[in-house]
Each structure stands twice: as structure tokens, then as C-alpha cells.
Amino acid sequence: MTQAFLYLHVLGIGMLLTVLFASPFFERAIRTGTAADAATIHGLLNRIGLLSPAATLILLLTGIGNIVSNHIDLAGTRWLQVKLLFYLLLLVVGAVNGPFLRRRLALYRSQAESLTGQRAASIAAFNRRESLFLAWQWVLTLIILALSILR
């Protein structure tokens, strides 16, 4: 059973890293393409982003399964407490960013229909926010991986 939890945990990590690796490439394509292309690419990015909640659920359940099956004392392992704290922070950042991504997609779709200066300024603000979000995702993920490896 321990092996199954471990393999599923690695699967969840792979799903999460797939989203993290794909996002910057899609973001670049969104910013350099036409408005219609940006709306299409953004929709595709949203579909790929659906891996994220599944990965989160898999990581959470298999992480708990690994803790229970390996008889790990959560109170005595500081690295695991810190890792869980950063994981929770990663989840909160992702949950907060979701509604902003939906608004940005709506702006791209409306821009494809007609371009106004106000929409372009709003899209630029959302793009800056998304760049910061992607950087935070990578930093938090690397911290979590470092805590897992270097414990």
C-alpha cells in the first residue's frame, strides 16, 4: 500500500509540474498573438489548468496516506510541517488567482470583438498579475520540492 501511495504522489507531482511548465509558454503565446488567438490559447490554458485541482487532491490524499502508512509523527518533523505550510500557501494563491484568470479571458474575448484603450490597459494589468502569480507558483513549488529532498 505504501508503494501505491508513493506512485500516486509522484503522479500528482507530475500533473502539477505539467501545469507549471506549460503556463509560461502559453502566457508568452497569449501576449504575442492576436486577440482572437489569445482568447483561444487562454481557453486551452484553462483546460490544462484543470489538472491542477486533480493534482491537488491526489497530492493531499496520497500525502496523508504516506504519513499514516509510514507512521510519521507530524509533531516531530519540522520539515514536513513547513512543507505543508508552503503547500497550503500554494493552494491559497492558486484559489485566489482563479477568478482573475476568468476575468482576463473575458477581456481577451471582448478585445477580439473590438479594441479599446481601457480593455488594453486592463489586459496589461492582468498580464502583470499573472506573471507575478507564475513566479510565486514556481518559488513555492521549488521550496516544497527542496523540503522534500533535503529534509
* pLDDT tens per residue across span 105-132: 777 767 666 656 666 677 777 777 777 8
Listed range (26-30, 69-73, 87-91, 121-125) with the worst mean pLDDT: 121-125
pLDDT of residue 5: 87
Whole-prediction pTM value? 0.72
Average pLDDT value for residue range 45-73: 86
Whether 51 contacts 43, CB under 8 Å? no
pLDDT of residue 149: 82
Give me the number of domains the chain comprises. Answer: 1
Alpha helices in 70-151 (DSSP H): 78-113, 117-149
Residue 37 domain boundaries: 2-149
